[in-house]
């Protein structure tokens, strides 16, 4: 039998019991109310009993739940205080950072490498995924959007410009590069970015309906790799293919650049942690 319950479930239970509601616990832990409810269910299944019971529109501790909370509360609070002491002591600071996978591999990691050299007292623990989820627990996250997220203070990192790119092997000097040429190519699409080709074609004055040959990829990384190998043309975020363009692994066949304005990548720091010196150092380094 396991001697410790799942720790995420334990943290959720302690927060609900201490604050008095699922909503308050979710706000404190920066997750959704649904995520908190799922963790409470995990703990109930672990103990094979109910630690909360419905009371009106809310929850109340059962006698067993109240007894358990009384026994663990001081220990969880001790961990919380010890953590604050570590963060404020000038010892090695840890930043938990989350990012989109393609942005991490093509832009972020080289800069984090330089940051670690100049800030050896700060350890950045990076996690990645294709999409952002509210259940992700981190100090800061790199998100794509317009910079307005409740509970976060966002700083823009790059200019987000869309360009159509391909391998030079697709381009023949003997014929013009125009809408007819593009209609003969395979358009490489990304599942999570379904509007890129329509956006680019509108700016170029092309009709996307005549582009019949298409191939879809799960991530931008795969689509960019396919373009490098001559499998088609992809609309890319220019900042993410900068190295490929500089080394001629990719070229820009059309002089069409679509600036997405405020819709770009941001370093979003939780407002409750924005005064941490390590996060300020990271923000200044990445946005320079």
Same domain, 151 and 268: yes
Q: What's the token pair of residue 110? A: 């080289």
Same domain, 74 and 105: no
Write the CATH number for 114. 3.40.190.10
Residue 267: domain span: 93-158+263-287
**How confident is residue 99, by pLDDT bands cut at 50, 70 and 90?**
very high
Query: Per-residue pLDDT averaged across 21-33, rounded?
Result: 83
Strand partners, 141: 98, 268
pLDDT given for residue 89 in this prediction: 54
Strand partners, 99: 128
In this structure, is residue 228 part of a structural domain? Answer: yes
Same domain, 278 and 194: no
Q: Has this prediction a pTM greater than 0.75?
A: no
pLDDT given for residue 253 in this prediction: 95
Query: Per-residue pLDDT averaged across 53-77, rounded?
Result: 88
The last residue of a domain, from among 56, 88, 120: 88
In this structure, is residue 1 part of a structural domain? Answer: no
pLDDT given for residue 134 in this prediction: 63
- From CA 78, how far away is CA 65, in angstroms rounded? 20
The tokens 């080394």 sit on which residue? 247
Give me the sign of the Cα torsion angle 130, 132, 138, 142.
positive
6-17 burial, b for 16+ CB within 10 Å, e for fewer?
eebbbbbbbbbb
Under a CB-based contact definition with an 8 Å cutoff, are residues 186 and 213 in contact? yes
In this structure, is residue 69 part of a structural domain? Answer: yes
Strand partners, 55: 58
Query: Per-residue pLDDT averaged across 165-177, rounded?
Result: 86
| Inter-helix orientation angle 63-88/7-19, to 10° | 100
Same domain, 253 and 224: yes
Write the CATH number for 14. 1.10.10.10
- pLDDT of 87 > 80? The answer is no
The total number of structural domains in the chain stands at 3
Same domain, 181 and 224: yes
Residues 66-78: pLDDT tens digits? 999 998 888 888 8
Under a CB-based contact definition with an 8 Å cutoff, are residues 263 and 283 in contact? no
Under a CB-based contact definition with an 8 Å cutoff, are residues 240 and 159 in contact? no
Helix (H) or strand (E) holding 234: strand 233-237
Same domain, 185 and 224: yes
Give the other-Cβ count within 10 Å of 145's Cβ: 14
């Amino acid at each position: 039998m396991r001697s410790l319950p799942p720790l995420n479930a334990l943290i959720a239970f302690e927060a609900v019991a201490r604050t008095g509601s699922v909503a308050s616990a979710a706000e404190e832990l920066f997750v959704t109310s649904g995520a908190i409810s799922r963790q409470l269910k995990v703990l109930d299944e672990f103990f094979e009993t109910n630690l909360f019971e419905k009371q009106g529109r809310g929850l109340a501790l059962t006698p067993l739940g109240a007894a358990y909370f009384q026994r663990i509360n001081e220990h969880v609070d001790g961990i919380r205080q010890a953590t604050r002491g570590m963060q404020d002591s000038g010892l090695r600071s840890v930043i938990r950072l989350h990012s989109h996978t393609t942005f991490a591999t093509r832009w972020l990691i080289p800069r984090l490498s330089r940051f670690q050299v100049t800030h050896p007292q700060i350890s950045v623990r990076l996690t990645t995924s294709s999409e952002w989820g509210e259940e992700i627990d981190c100090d800061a996250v790199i998100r794509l959007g317009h910079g307005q997220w409740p509970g976060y203070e966002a700083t823009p990192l790059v200019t987000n410009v869309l360009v159509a790119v391909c391998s030079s092997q697709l381009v023949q000097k003997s014929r013009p590069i125009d809408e007819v040429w593009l209609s003969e190519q395979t358009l490489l699409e990304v599942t999570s970015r379904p509007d890129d080709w329509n956006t680019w074609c509108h700016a170029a004055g092309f009709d996307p309906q005549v582009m019949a040959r298409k191939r879809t990829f799960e991530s931008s990384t795969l689509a960019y790799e396919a373009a490098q190998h001559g499998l088609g043309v992809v609309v890319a975020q220019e900042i993410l293919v900068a190295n490929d363009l500089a080394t001629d692994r990719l070229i820009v066949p059309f002089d069409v650049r679509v600036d997405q304005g405020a819709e770009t990548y941001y370093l979003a720091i939780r407002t409750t942690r924005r005064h941490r010196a390590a996060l300020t150092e990271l923000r200044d380094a990445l946005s320079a």
